[in-house]
Amino acid sequence: MKLFHKDIIVWILIILFVILLFIIYEQKNDRYIKLEKNQPETKQFDPVVAKKTKKLVQEAAQHGISVVITEKFRTKKEQNELYAQGRTASGNIVTYAKGGESYHNYGLAVDYALKNDNGEIIWNTSYDGNNNGQADWFEVADLAKELGFEWGGDWRNPDFPHLQMDFGLSIRQLQDGLRPKHNQNKTE
């Protein structure tokens, strides 16, 4: 009899575990979509990233800072060409990511720069165009972080112009075809 009870408990635990796995799987399904294998690369800028980028430019303007978005989506081929720069091609190293290893390749990243009073695009991180004693570059980074962006300037190998949103997806998961699924009601 005792043995019988133990078996029942083991089975109940197994069933509960399966139910739990199912719930986790369903939640993941609700947040992400999975692309078909071998589907051609979609050159799509993520709609939420697009919206937040627009908001960032507007908010920066309210602070007297003119932000220029210099890069959005980048194809894997373009990423590989960029990776070659400073390695097998001339120039300085500008990225540590090969094709498929950057959030730019999935429309989830942007690069910014500033526009000075002469209308020139600048990458000067100490420029203080709005004369408030703070470098505009870092003010923009702070605004971006408030909007939910991760800033490349916080990385061990800093990438100061870079902003990205991963929506909980690693590069590995993106390479496997997972993409953020945006519920219109949840994006605000």
Binding map of Zn ion across residues 98-117, x = CB under 5 A, - = no contact: -------------x------
Task: State whether residue 178 is helix, strand or coil.
Answer: strand
Nearer to Zn ion, 28 or 99 (CB): 99
Nearer to Zn ion, 101 or 139 (CB): 101
CA–CA–CA angle 103, 148, 125 (5° rounding):
75
Total residues binding Zn ion (CB under 5 A)? 2
| CB of 139 vs Zn ion, minimal distance in Å | 19
Nearer to Zn ion, 74 or 179 (CB): 74
Nearer to Zn ion, 28 or 165 (CB): 165
Binding map of Zn ion across residues 151-170, x = CB under 5 A, - = no contact: -----------x--------
| CB of 159 vs Zn ion, minimal distance in Å | 6
DSSP letters spanning 15-32: HHHHHHHHHHHHHHHHHE
Check residue 74 for interaction with Zn ion (CB under 5 A): no
CA–CA–CA angle 88, 83, 177 (5° rounding):
140
Give the C-alpha distances (Å, rounded to integers) separating 144 from 28, 46, 69, 76, 163. Answer: 26, 16, 13, 25, 8
158 Cβ contact partners less than 8 Å away, ≥ 6 residues apart:
152
Residues binding Zn ion (CB under 5 A): 111, 162
